[in-house]
C-alpha cells in the first residue's frame, strides 16, 4: 500500500480530527497559540445549510423501521444540519458530572463562563447578565423566534399551569418559552460560521477538507503519534509533533478508536484488529428519543401550511430582512421542560421531559415528511392522518432527555468505509417508558384542557394509531403502545460513560 507522508509540510502541528460542532471550537481556541492541522471528511456548508426551515429535509434520511443517525459530513458538522435550538444543560447535570468525575471544573458555576464567552447574545434576556453578558471572544450568535399566532396560545396555556414567562437557559428550569436558536440575522449560525469562517486566514490553522481519517498511529507505549487518512483517492500519513485530538462526534470518534486498536479486546480480536489498548469504547451509548403527539385539531386558522404560505415573498423576506417563516427551525416556535412525578418526589426541579411546539398545520406533504423523520411506514401514517389533511392542527413533540436506557456501538468489520452498528436500546429501562408516557399525558392535558387551547377547540380525534387498537384510547397503556410504534431519535447521541 502506497502511503504519502505529509510530515514535511506540517512540522510542529497538532492534528485535530473533525471540524464539527466541537472540533470547530477546538480549532479556533487551539490555533490561537499553536499550529493546528484540521482534518475534515467533508467540505464547506452549501447555501441551503444556512436556511433554518430546511433542517427537516437535511435530517430526513430514514428507511422504514430503521432509526438512522445522520451526521454532518461538513465543516460545522451536525451543527450545519440540526434544528439549532439553543438549550443549555441543567445545573444539576453539570454538578452530577463533577461528582462522578471528581473534577470540580465540570460544576455549572465553572462552565457558565465558557457558555458566556462563546456567545453573541441577541435574544430576549440580555438583562440577565449572570448567564449571558458579553466578551470579546463571542462568536456563536443566538436569536429568539416566537412571533407567530400559536405563540400566544401556548404562552397563555403555560401560565394556566403556573409556569412563569422567562428564560429556559438562565438557568434551565421547568417552564415553556420561546425558541432561542443559533441564528445570525435569521440564518443558521453553525460552529463553522461562528468559529472557523472568521479565522480561515489564520496562519496557525490549516484545514484539509475531504480528508477521511482511517486510523490513529500508536507507538509501543500506546501514545498517539499521528493519523492515516484518505484524500482524493490517495492515502496519507501525518505525524503530530504535539497532540492528536479526536473530535469526530459520538459515532465516528469511537469508530476511529476501535479501528486503531483502542476498544474492547474481545470485539476487536473477532474482527481481526490487533488490540492495543483494552477499553470499553462504544459502551453505554445514550440518545434522546422523542415522539410526535397528535394531531390536535383546531377550529381557528392559527397554523401555517408550507405549500400555501411559503412562496416567493417568503424567500424575499428571508433574504432581504432575515425574518419570516424560513428563519424558524422546522417551523418550531416554542419549547419547554417539565419534571415528571418521580423527579418531583426527590424535591428537585431537574426536568426529564422536553416539549417542542410547531405551528405547521396538517399539510399535504406531512405524511411523507413524518415518515422520513420517524421511520414509520408511510401507509401507516396515511391511515392515521388521511382524514385530517388540510385542517388546522399540530403535533406536539415530547422527548425523554434524561434516559436511563443505554446501548452500544460496535464495528461491523475493519473497513473504515463501513458504518458501525448502533443499538441504543431505547426504552429498555422501565423508568424511561413511565416518564415518556407521563410526558405524553401532560401534553394531552395541556392542549385539550387549558382555556387557551379550548378557545380554538383543540382536541385529538377519537382514532387509534394502527397497532394500538386493543388499548383504551388515551390510557397509559395506549400511549405506551403509541410511543413504542412511533418514537424516533431526535439526533442527540452522547458519549460512552455510564451515569
In the predicted model, is pLDDT for residue 361 greater than 50? yes
Residues whose CB falls within 8 Å of the CB of residue 334, separated by 6 or more in sequence, listed in order? 146, 150, 151, 154, 155, 176, 177, 178, 179, 357
Residues whose CB falls within 8 Å of the CB of residue 220, separated by 6 or more in sequence, listed in order? none
Any idea what the Cα angle at residue 424 is, between residues 421 and 428, rounded to 5°? 140
Q: Give the residue-averaged pLDDT of 386-400.
A: 96
| Residue 27 is assigned to a structural domain of this protein | yes
| Residue 204 is assigned to a structural domain of this protein | yes
Report CA 298 to chain centroid distance, whole Å: 30
| Residue 40 is assigned to a structural domain of this protein | yes
Q: Considering its fold, how many domains does the chain have in total? A: 1
Q: How many Å apart are CA 270 and CA 215, to the nearest integer?
A: 18
Q: Which three cell numbers stand for residue 70?
A: 445522520
Q: Give the residue-averaged pLDDT of 66-92.
A: 90
What's the predicted TM-score (pTM) here? 0.93
18-27, 266-275, 324-333, 381-390: which has the minimum mean pLDDT?
A: 324-333
Domain CATH for 220: 3.50.50.60
| Residue 66 is assigned to a structural domain of this protein | no
Give the CA dihedral 183, 187, 192, 195, nearest 10 degrees: -40
213 is in an annotated binding site: yes
- At 375 the pLDDT is 86
- Structural domain harbouring 13: 3-47+192-247
**What digits encode the pLDDT tens for the residues 403-447?**
999 999 999 999 999 999 999 999 999 999 999 999 999 999 999
Q: How many Å apart are CA 46 and CA 167, to the nearest integer?
A: 32
Average pLDDT, the chain: 91
- At 302 the pLDDT is 94
Amino acid at each position: 500500500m502506497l502511503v504519502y507522508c505529509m510530515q514535511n509540510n506540517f512540522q510542529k502541528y497538532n492534528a485535530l480530527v473533525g471540524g464539527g460542532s466541537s472540533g470547530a471550537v477546538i480549532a479556533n481556541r487551539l490555533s490561537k497559540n499553536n499550529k493546528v492541522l484540521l482534518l475534515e471528511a467533508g467540505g464547506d456548508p452549501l447555501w441551503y445549510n444556512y436556511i433554518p426551515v430546511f433542517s427537516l429535509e437535511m435530517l430526513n434520511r430514514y428507511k422504514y423501521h430503521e432509526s438512522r443517525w445522520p451526521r454532518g459530513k461538513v465543516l460545522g458538522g451536525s451543527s450545519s444540519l440540526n434544528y439549532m435550538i439553543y438549550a443549555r444543560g441543567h445545573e444539576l447535570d453539570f454538578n452530577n458530572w463533577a461528582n462522578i468525575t471528581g473534577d470540580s471544573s465540570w460544576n455549572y458555576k465553572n462552565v457558565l463562563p465558557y457558555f458566556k464567552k462563546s456567545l453573541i447574545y441577541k435574544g430576549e434576556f440580555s438583562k440577565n447578565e449572570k448567564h449571558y453578558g458579553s466578551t470579546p471572544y463571542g462568536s456563536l450568535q443566538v436569536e429568539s423566534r416566537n412571533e407567530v399566532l400559536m405563540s400566544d396560545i401556548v404562552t397563555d396555556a403555560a401560565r394556566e399551569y403556573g409556569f412563569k414567562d422567562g428564560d429556559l437557559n438562565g438557568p434551565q428550569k421547568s417552564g415553556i418559552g420561546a425558541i432561542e436558536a443559533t441564528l445570525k440575522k435569521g440564518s443558521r449560525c453553525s460552529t463553522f460560521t461562528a468559529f472557523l469562517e472568521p479565522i480561515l486566514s489564520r496562519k496557525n490553522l490549516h484545514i484539509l477538507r475531504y480528508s477521511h481519517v482511517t486510523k490513529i498511529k500508536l507507538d509501543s507505549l500506546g501514545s498517539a503519534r499521528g493519523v492515516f487518512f484518505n484524500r482524493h483517492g490517495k492515502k496519507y500519513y501525518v505525524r503530530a509533533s504535539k497532540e492528536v485530538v479526536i473530535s469526530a462526534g459520538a459515532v465516528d470518534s469511537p469508530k476511529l478508536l476501535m479501528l486503531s486498536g483502542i476498544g474492547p479486546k474481545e470485539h476487536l480480536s473477532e474482527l481481526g484488529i490487533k488490540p492495543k489498548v483494552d477499553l470499553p469504547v462504544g459502551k453505554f451509548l445514550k440518545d434522546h428519543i422523542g415522539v410526535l403527539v397528535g394531531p390536535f385539531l383546531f377550529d381557528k386558522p392559527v397554523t401555517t401550511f408550507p405549500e400555501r404560505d411559503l412562496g416567493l415573498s417568503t424567500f424575499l423576506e428571508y433574504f432581504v430582512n432575515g425574518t419570516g417563516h424560513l428563519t424558524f427551525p422546522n417551523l418550531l416556535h416554542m419549547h419547554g421542560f417539565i419534571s415528571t412525578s418521580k423527579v418531583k418526589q426527590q424535591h428537585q426541579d431537574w426536568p426529564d421531559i422536553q416539549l417542542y411546539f410547531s405551528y405547521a398545520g396538517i399539510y399535504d406533504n406531512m405524511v411523507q415528511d413524518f415518515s422520513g423523520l420517524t421511520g414509520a411506514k408511510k401507509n401507516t401514517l396515511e391511515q392515521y392522518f388521511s382524514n385530517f389533511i388540510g385542517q388546522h392542527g399540530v403535533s406536539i413533540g415530547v422527548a425523554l432527555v434524561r434516559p436511563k436506557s443505554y446501548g452500544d456501538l460496535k464495528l461491523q468489520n475493519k473497513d473504515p468505509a463501513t458504518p458501525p452498528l448502533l443499538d441504543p436500546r431505547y426504552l429498555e429501562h422501565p423508568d424511561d417508558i413511565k416518564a415518556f408516557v407521563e410526558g405524553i399525558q401532560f401534553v394531552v392535558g395541556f392542549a385539550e384542557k387549558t382555556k387557551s387551547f379550548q378557545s380554538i377547540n383543540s382536541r385529538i380525534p377519537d382514532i387509534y394509531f394502527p397497532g394500538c387498537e386493543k388499548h383504551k384510547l388515551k390510557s397509559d397503556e395506549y400511549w405506551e403502545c403509541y410511543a413504542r410504534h412511533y418514537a424516533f431519535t431526535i439526533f442527540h447521541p452522547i458519549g460512552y460513560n455510564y451515569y
